Amino acid sequence: MKYFPFLILLLLFACNKKDDQANKKPVLTLSPVTDGLQLQLQGSATDADGKVKEIAINWGDDKG
C-alpha cells in the first residue's frame, strides 16, 4: 500500500500522453485576376490535419 500513491501518479502521467503532431495551419491559395477595376478571385483552402469548414473574407468595409 505504500506504493499506491506513486502508482496512481504513474498511471495519470501515462494516460495524459499528448499527440506528437502539432496542429498545422490551413493553407489558402488565391489567384487574383484583374481587368481594369474588376477583380476576380479564385482559390482553394487545404488543411493537412483536418477539414476546412468555412472561409471568411473581411473586405475591411464593416459590412460583415
Query: pLDDT by residue for the chain (64 residues), tens digit each?
Result: 566 676 676 666 666 655 556 778 888 888 888 899 898 888 888 988 888 888 888 878 876 5
- ∠ at Cα 27 (40, 42), nearest 5°? 15
Q: Which amino acid is at 40?
A: Q
Report how far residue 64's alpha carbon sits from residue 61's, in angstroms, rounded to the nearest whole number: 8
Are 54 and 45 contacting, i.e. CB atoms less than 8 angstroms apart? no
